[in-house]
Amino acid sequence: MTDGAARLVVDGLRIIVAGSSVDVVDEVTLTVDAGEVLGLVGESGSGKTTVSLALLGYTRRGLVVDAGSVRFEDSDVLTMSADELRQLRGRTIAYVPQDPASALNPALKVGFQLREALTMHGGGDSNRLEVSERMAQVLAEVGLEASKEIRGAYPHQLSGGQQQRIALAMAFACRPRLIVLDEPTTGLDAATQRHVLDTVRGLCRSYGVAAVHVTHDLAVVAEIADRVTVMYAGRLIETGPTKAVFETPAHPYTAGLLRAIPSPERREVLVGMEGQPPRPGHRPRGCSFEPRCDFAVAQCAAARPPVVEIEGPARTARCFRAEEVVRRSLGVGAPVSDVMVSQDGAAADAVLVVAGLVGRYGEKEILHGVDLAVPRGSCVAVVGESGSGKTTLARCLVGLHGNWSGTVAFDSQSVRPLARNRSLKVLQAVQYVFQSPYTALNPRKTIGQLVEQPLAHFYKLAARERTARVVAALEAAALNEDFLGRYPDQLSGGERQRVAIARALVVEPELLVCDEVTSALDVSVQAAIVELLRRLQNERGLSLLFITHNLALVRSIAQEVVVLHEGSVVERGPTDTVLSHPVDEYTIRLLEDVPKLTSLTDSCHVSAVTPV
Amino acid sequence: MARNGKEKAPSSGAASPAHLRRHEWVAVLGAAARSRRGAIGALLALSVVAVAVIGPFVAPHSSTEFVTSAFTGPSGRSLLGSDGLGRDVLSRVLFGGWLLLLMAAVATALGAIIGTALGITAAYFRGTFDGLIMRAVDIFLAFPQIVFALLLLSVAGPKLWLVVIAVGISHVPQVARVIRSASLDICEKDYVKAVELLRIKPRKIIVGDILPNLVTPLMVEVGLRFTWSIVIIAGLSFIGFGLQPPAPNWGLMLNENRIGLVSNPWAVVVPAVLVAVLTVGTNTFTDAIARVSIGVERPVGDEVFLGVATLETEK
């Protein structure tokens, strides 16, 4: 299978905005061998998707390849004709998109689409029977039954995980020799993610397929990749074997990413990285990371650091101080014992009490009698996978969803189901932060107007006093008055979420309901937002209901955790107890499925036993 | 709309220009005008508008003055010949446009305002109210617009303001349907839910939070409706509703002068061409607005206009 030579060689790839000299990615050089999985890691805007598409000879509208080559088994993908590319794609290079729901044709049955992939690229005049056999085979490979239900289903009738596995099956159907996976597990819950990752890894191993796995999630990379390369602001800043990079990162950015990742195993301070990567066309003359780097010296701002080798040619980094960074082990220096989540005060009265909440959509019961209490000044995390009803719960509590029964009492006063029937006092005291900061801010309003709106509604204040409070709220959310006149689309995702938090804070609420507030954000930003919430809780005595699918995050913020499974609470208790000694079967499985950085060290040192 | 004059100037160094959001319609108009399609459309439409607006001031004769005998060809005294009563065609053309444009504009505004109000409210409240409005719209949509306007006029008689109102009302169902479908999406957005959670009055939410997000589809719709207004009003004049003789009017002129088509074709061709150029122009420009706003077309020489968005929302 393995022929020894590198399958894919990218050399000096430079992609620019057409008609300008603004580079989106530059100096991208990498190789992938047969049977090897390369993890391409980067936060949003780093250019990782641009690179991954270039591997298939594709550039998005408005972008052109300016220099460099993408050589796949001795042919240059970038100089191929449209016909040659069509031959290449699907058959020899396959692509698995981020969002399977939009990649599968919603009007065709998945069996038909799979059959099409097999007959188009499958080679030769395959007859129906043969194709059916192959189809059963590829479906089995991704852990799906080739049953009528699956083959005859339209994409929307399948779950997200099943859709993604269909997409995987289509990609692997023609035995490609290179497969490009663009964040294939984003948006899947832990168990499905685990299964998809195992599938990819297994298929790559057994068929000698070279794979490039693009992701922003370092923990996923730790699980799947043999080698990893980290992208920042359009350049590869560190490349090396996964284990080495994660144990002793050589670039401060990699180290920062590692520090930002929450761990379900121990309570630690998440260190976010302030600022955001420079956009194309606004990159500094020196190192792109220099403005955010704690480790920068004068040299970093003056000149672009060269690529240096670390302990041999297998590891490279683009940093003047790489050797020093390796020696200091910056990435694993996260303080573990500094308990920042206060444990006291839990005996206080409850600000929110939920009893026997039954939530429905139409006739269908989603929540089956949920009981919950949020003690004043503490943070309760509600954890569950997609479909567990956690978002429905949040929407019932804040009054967005009115079809529920049971009691929800705020400050011992029970509240009506819908927000429009609740008193202004309750609406002001319970604030909701939406999941996606990209949709929660009106794009036609300035930040100032957005934050001011609830304030002006709840309090009659003079204009000057109002502005002062708006600025104070922005500052509490680690923004400043420069933002007042800006519009949401001028802000990064993290900044937008801070604005959403500031909008909640400005009316001085007692309880903040945070619905998956970090799931749309990069890890470094996620860490910063979690830190912000924790600080607010400590400083202001704010009570938090923190809803998340990410068990790892829970340790970093919550005093208590409630595990929700299919609309029922299956386990609850103090965070440490639940996470260290889970009792319920479901919780145990959930914990096992979380991708962990440490599983890497497990599998490398002890050479086995990752839980499946 | 929801602008309250006391905002600070956008801070410098921000990546995308803030004025683009503040006066979105200006930005979109500008971008459309700078695209090739839009420039052509604007040129066509504006030249006809110029004829209509400047015309009355430069006309060589009064529109009702008898200059020569009936249906004479072009001469030094009347450059485009005369009509059936010996009046100067050029002067009548120059006088006959502004009222048509004004009526079209008012009718469009009327239709757009009522239609938008109905469309947004239906989308926002959904339920029975939505059903009622939209079924009514369906019924009205079953009639061609001109028939609908004729129906109203034949009941109430041909008065100018009635023509405007009839045409305006005939636009309402179309506008309401388009705006409703555009608002349905907006009404479900989290930022609208966020405001609802504050128990802000629906009227305030509709005007302050939803309407500003409909600027682009509204502009496209207004452009389209304006084109239709011209066509319908000119058409109504042709069949005798609207301006009454001896007042000059392009639509009316077609009707008056078609019997003399052989002796003086200019008396028919010129107003017909003007109406045609105007409608093609406004329609082309509207098309440019639509294309620019979804990024299919860009201002000439501008590499990334609204396309910036596609680049930066990689996530």
Residue B87 located in a structural domain: yes
Structure tokens at A218: 């370092």
* B139 and B205 fall within a common domain: yes
Q: Which of B50, B56, B96 is nearest to B272 (CA)?
A: B96
Residue B259 located in a structural domain: no
Q: Which residues are within 8 A (CB) of B269 and not within 5 positions of it... i.e. 6 or more apart?
A: none
Strands A568-574 and A511-515: unpaired
pLDDT above 50: residue B250: yes
Yes or no, beta carbons of B310 and A61 under 8 Å apart:
yes
**Residue B25 — φ and ψ, nearest 5°?**
-65, -35
Rounded distance, CA A184 to CA A9, Å?
A: 23
Q: How many CB atoms lie within 10 A of CB B275?
A: 23
Q: Which residues are within 8 A (CB) of A245 and not within 5 positions of it... i.e. 6 or more apart?
A: A228, A230, A238, A239, A254, A315
The pLDDT tens digits of the residues spanning B287-300 come to 888 888 776 666 65
User: 3-state SS of A280-294?
Assistant: CCCCCCCCCCHHHCC
Rounded distance, CA B219 to CA B224, Å?
A: 9
pLDDT above 50: residue B3: no
pLDDT of residue B117: 94
- Mutual angle of helices A128-141 and A160-173, in 10-degree steps: 130
Q: How many CB atoms lie within 10 A of CB B105?
A: 15
Yes or no, beta carbons of A490 and B311 under 8 Å apart:
no
Rounded distance, CA A485 to CA A499, Å?
A: 13
Tell me the mean pLDDT in the region B117-129.
Answer: 91
Bridge partners of A89, per DSSP, are A93
Taking 70 as the pLDDT cut, the residues of chain A under it are 1-6, 121-126, 187, 266-269, 274-275, 329-348, 598-612
CA angle A476, A482, A487 (to 5 degrees): 100
Q: Do the beta carbons of residue A481 and residue A474 sit within 8 Å?
A: yes
Please state, in angstroms and as integers, the Cα–Cα distance from residue A307 to each residue in A28, A314, A321, following that order.
11, 12, 11
Bridge partners of A309, per DSSP, are A316
Token pair 């929307």 is at which residue?
A156
Which residue in A99, A445, A450, A467 has the most chain B C-beta atoms within 10 A of its own C-beta, making it the best mutation to test that interface? A445
Task: Identify whether B246 is preceded by a cis peptide bond (ω within 30 of 0).
Answer: yes
* B241 and B307 fall within a common domain: no
Yes or no, beta carbons of B311 and A280 under 8 Å apart:
yes
pLDDT band at B2 (very low <50, low <70, confident <90, very high): very low
- Mutual angle of helices B250-257 and B215-238, in 10-degree steps: 30
pLDDT of residue A448: 92
Q: What is the DSSP letter of A152?
A: T
Rounded distance, CA A3 to CA A35, Å?
A: 10
pLDDT of residue B14: 33
Residue B272 located in a structural domain: no
* B173 and B301 fall within a common domain: no
Alpha-carbon gap: B116 to the closest alpha carbon of chain A (Å): 18
* Residue B93 identity: V
Domain ranges of chain A: 104-174, 350-581
* B90 and B157 fall within a common domain: no
**Residue B188 — φ and ψ, nearest 5°?**
-90, -5
Rounded distance, CA A318 to CA A46, Å?
A: 15
Q: Do the beta carbons of residue A458 and residue A507 sit within 8 Å?
A: yes
Q: Which residues of A touch B199 (CB under 8 A)?
A: 419-420, 422, 424, 427, 457
Structure tokens at A47: 């250019």
pLDDT above 80: residue B16: no
- Mutual angle of helices A523-540 and A493-505, in 10-degree steps: 20
* B118 and B89 fall within a common domain: no
Q: Which residue has the higher pLDDT, B124 or A73?
A: B124
Residue B254 located in a structural domain: no
Give the burial string for A576-601 (b: 16+ CB within 10 Å, else e). bebbeebeeebbeebbbbbbbbebbe
* B102 and B196 fall within a common domain: yes
Residue B82 located in a structural domain: yes
Residue B195 located in a structural domain: yes
* B75 and B151 fall within a common domain: no
Length of chain B: 315
Domain that holds residue B83: 16-97+280-315
Helix (H) or strand (E) holding A574: strand A568-574
| Helices (H), ranges, chain B | 19-22, 24-34, 36-58, 89-95, 98-125, 127-141, 145-156, 160-187, 190-196, 202-205, 215-238, 250-257, 266-294, 308-312
Alpha-carbon gap: A485 to the closest alpha carbon of chain B (Å): 5
Q: What is the DSSP letter of A78?
A: G
Q: How many CB atoms lie within 10 A of CB A311?
A: 12
Sign (positive or negative) of CA dihedral A419, A424, A425, A429: positive
Q: Do the beta carbons of residue A561 and residue A573 sit within 8 Å?
A: yes
> Which of A434, A485, A493 is closest, CB to CB, to B11?
A485
Q: Which residues are within 8 A (CB) of B265 and not within 5 positions of it... i.e. 6 or more apart?
A: none
Tell me the mean pLDDT in the region B17-46.
Answer: 78
Q: Select, from the ranges B14-28, B45-59, B253-267, the one with the highest average predicted confidence (pLDDT).
A: B45-59
- Mutual angle of helices B266-294 and B24-34, in 10-degree steps: 120
Q: Which residues are within 8 A (CB) of A128 and not within 5 positions of it... i.e. 6 or more apart?
A: none
Q: Do the beta carbons of residue A71 and residue A8 sit within 8 Å?
A: yes
* B113 and B20 fall within a common domain: no
Sign (positive or negative) of CA dihedral A360, A363, A368, A369: positive
Q: Do the beta carbons of residue B248 and residue B96 sit within 8 Å?
A: yes
B135 at interface of A, judged by CB pairs closer than 8 A: no
Residue B232: which CATH number?
Answer: 1.10.3720.10
Bridge partners of A182, per DSSP, are A214
Nearest residue on chain A to B9, judged by CA atoms?
A485
**Residue A161 — φ and ψ, nearest 5°?**
-65, -40
Q: Which residue has the higher pLDDT, B308 or A484?
A: A484
ipTM score for this prediction: 0.74
| Helices (H), ranges, A329-389 | none
Tell me the mean pLDDT in the region B28-43.
Answer: 88
Q: What is the DSSP letter of B210?
A: I
Q: What is the DSSP letter of B82?
A: B
Beta strands in A104-186 (DSSP E): 178-182
B8 at interface of A, judged by CB pairs closer than 8 A: yes
Yes or no, beta carbons of B314 and A280 under 8 Å apart:
no
Structure tokens at B55: 């015309």
Q: Do the beta carbons of residue B138 and residue B130 sit within 8 Å?
A: no
Q: Do the beta carbons of residue A609 and residue A602 sit within 8 Å?
A: yes
Residue B306 located in a structural domain: yes
Token pair 């009522």 is at which residue?
B114
pLDDT of residue A598: 62
Nearest residue on chain B to A45, judged by CA atoms?
B314
Which residue in A424, A490, A516 has the most chain B C-beta atoms within 10 A of its own C-beta, making it the best mutation to test that interface? A490
B190 at interface of A, judged by CB pairs closer than 8 A: yes
Q: Which residues of A touch B303 (CB under 8 A)?
A: 17-20, 62
pLDDT of residue A454: 93
Q: Which residues of A touch B304 (CB under 8 A)?
A: 17, 62
* B163 and B294 fall within a common domain: no
pLDDT of residue B308: 36
Q: How many CB atoms lie within 10 A of CB B162?
A: 17
Instruction: Classify domain A350-581 at the CATH topology level.
Output: Rossmann fold (3.40.50)
Q: How many CB atoms lie within 10 A of CB A341?
A: 18
CA angle B300, B306, B307 (to 5 degrees): 85
Q: Do the beta carbons of residue B236 and residue B148 sit within 8 Å?
A: no
B199 at interface of A, judged by CB pairs closer than 8 A: yes
Token pair 């590319």 is at which residue?
A85
Rounded distance, CA A92 to CA A178, Å?
A: 6
Mean pLDDT for chain B overall: 81
B309 at interface of A, judged by CB pairs closer than 8 A: yes
pLDDT of residue A394: 92
Q: Which residues of B touch A463 (CB under 8 A)?
A: 6
Q: Do the beta carbons of residue B201 and residue B125 sit within 8 Å?
A: no
Yes or no, beta carbons of A422 and B199 under 8 Å apart:
yes
Token pair 């020899």 is at which residue?
A92
Report the side by side order of strands in the sheet with A63-72.
Answer: A23-33, A6-17, A63-72, A75-76
Rounded distance, CA A45 to CA B315, Å?
A: 7
Q: Residue A14, by phi and psi: left (phi above 0), alpha (psi -120 to 50) or beta?
A: beta
pLDDT of residue A352: 92
Q: Residue B169, by phi and psi: left (phi above 0), alpha (psi -120 to 50) or beta?
A: alpha
* Residue A540 identity: R
* B208 and B143 fall within a common domain: yes
**Residue B242 — φ and ψ, nearest 5°?**
100, -145
Helix (H) or strand (E) holding A426: helix A424-429
Nearest residue on chain A to B216, judged by CA atoms?
A444
* B65 and B29 fall within a common domain: yes
Rounded distance, CA A411 to CA A405, Å?
A: 19
**What's the domain count of chain B?**
2
* B117 and B217 fall within a common domain: yes
Q: Do the beta carbons of residue A540 and residue A378 sit within 8 Å?
A: no
Q: What percent of chain B has pLDDT over 70?
A: 86
Upper half-sphere CA count for residue A370 (Cβ side, 13 Å): 33
Radius of gyration of chain B (CA): 23
Alpha-carbon gap: A438 to the closest alpha carbon of chain B (Å): 9
Residue B257 located in a structural domain: no
